[in-house]
Homo-oligomer: A and B are copies of this chain.
């Protein structure tokens, strides 16, 4: 790159896979990346650009003219093209779309920009092989060859009627084994899974996983065939969702990674830490209210971090199981049953832990009344923490809010406060102070 040996580089990178070119673009600096994208064929770079991280891609596209971006887009499948265009500013978006030469591609992209990013429409691509039921096998193979030039990989062949409504699919096996004059209407399979263009992406992912589909056709309200979604887009979607839930549970609010700038990472982390700070201040205020009691019973104070930590741990466990169960659609039964089960579970765990703690405090401090009050509080706190950890995500889910926000810092912080409050009340009660 340094000596700008255009020819040499072109030859060197000619056979390199686009995913590897993406890695090269990621590692060189901005000017070098722009130089490479301009030098290489759009056919090679367009897919590489889609593999880049969003922030790297943004920087790269800032350097290119709308005409150059349009050139890259011409080579992309509609779904990738739309994803990329959606990231651009409004006025650049318009300029880029105007520069696209292929009128059909342009119309497809305009149509697809209307769909919600998290719906089936936002995931689908327009490229697919469609055949009419009235065709013969020979005509169909001819048509497929023509259409297949635009489609990177043939997943399924969809059969439509004269109104362009999806009526079935064609198996390649049947196509290979039929005589050339057979009518498509005689050999197509009328049973075909499909999704509506407005279905949420999550439902599409679940359907494709459940039935092990590799591609699924997308239709509008009138069952007209609009596009198809392939499993590789769903793999990316599943991975992204899992990453987001994981980060949410750890108290990180945006989709960040280790290579992001310190400022971006701070923005993603600081709000949750402030929540924790608020919780801590709240806990301090509560304890301050018991100050007189505590001054004479400092031993109680020694165990507040333990109580708070256990309340947090139990809460996180309970909420994580529920959040995951909700995501996988296997939470059955009523909220009441669910809470009852969690309560039994917490009682079992709580009893085991409380007994251990009782003997520890008794032996180390030699005071049965303290040992009893601390361990009984722990038992109650664990039950309450388990119930809160179960109830909040279920409640949010019922309200249509993503229950994943209830995990991590949110549960930990609220359980810290509840835990300490319960602890001090019970101690006061038992010790009679």
Say yes or no: is A348 at the interface (Cβ < 8 Å to chain B): yes
Whether the pair B273, A310 counts as a contact (CB closer than 8 A) is yes
Whether the pair A341, B262 counts as a contact (CB closer than 8 A) is yes
A258's nearest neighbour on chain B, judged by CB, is B325
Say yes or no: is A217 at the interface (Cβ < 8 Å to chain B): no
Measured between beta carbons, the chain B residues less than 8 angstroms from A353 are 270, 273-274, 277
A349 to B338 alpha-carbon distance, docked (Å): 38
Interface centre among A176, A295, A364 (most CB of B within 10 A): A176
Say yes or no: is A252 at the interface (Cβ < 8 Å to chain B): yes
Interface stretch, picked from A30-38, A110-118, A206-214, is A206-214
A265 to B301 alpha-carbon distance, docked (Å): 31
Q: Which of B148, B277, B309, B413 contacts A412 (CB 8 A)?
A: B309
Whether the pair A246, B320 counts as a contact (CB closer than 8 A) is yes
Give the number of chain A interface residues (Cβ < 8 Å).
106
Q: How far is the CB of A15 from chain B (nearest CB, A)?
A: 8
Measured between beta carbons, the chain B residues less than 8 angstroms from A269 are 317, 345, 349
A153 to B145 alpha-carbon distance, docked (Å): 21
Quickly give the copy total for this chain. 2
Measured between beta carbons, the chain B residues less than 8 angstroms from A330 are 257-259
A342 to B211 alpha-carbon distance, docked (Å): 43
Residues 370-425 (chain A) with a chain B CB within 8 angstroms: 382, 407-409, 412-413, 416, 420
Q: Mark A226-247, 1 if CB is under 8 A from B, else 0.
A: 0000011011101100110111
Q: Mark A331-372, 1 if CB is under 8 A from B, else 0.
A: 110000010010011001100110011001000100000000
Whether the pair B277, A247 counts as a contact (CB closer than 8 A) is no
Whether the pair A360, B298 counts as a contact (CB closer than 8 A) is no
Say yes or no: is A197 at the interface (Cβ < 8 Å to chain B): no
Q: Which of B266, B352, B413 contacts A345 (CB 8 A)?
A: B266
Q: Which of B214, B284, B320 contacts A302 (CB 8 A)?
A: B284
Q: How far is the CB of A243 from chain B (nearest CB, A)?
A: 6
Measured between beta carbons, the chain B residues less than 8 angstroms from A210 are 19
Say yes or no: is A189 at the interface (Cβ < 8 Å to chain B): no
A154 to B408 alpha-carbon distance, docked (Å): 44
Whether the pair B172, A345 counts as a contact (CB closer than 8 A) is no
Whether the pair A250, B407 counts as a contact (CB closer than 8 A) is yes
Given contacts A232-B214, A331-B258, contact A312 B252 (CB under 8 A): no
Q: Mark A276-308, 1 if CB is under 8 A from B, else 0.
A: 110111011101100100110010011111111
Q: Mark A153-192, 1 if CB is under 8 A from B, else 0.
A: 1100000000000000000110011000000000000010
A55 to B234 alpha-carbon distance, docked (Å): 28
Whether the pair B280, A239 counts as a contact (CB closer than 8 A) is no
Q: How far is the CB of A24 from chain B (nearest CB, A)?
A: 14
Q: How far is the CB of A103 from chain B (nearest CB, A)?
A: 25
Given contacts A154-B172, A284-B303, A324-B243, contact A357 B17 (CB under 8 A): no
Q: Other CB < 8 Å A-B pairs besides A239-B242, A277-B356, 4 of them?
A: A247-B321, A274-B356, A277-B353, A294-B301
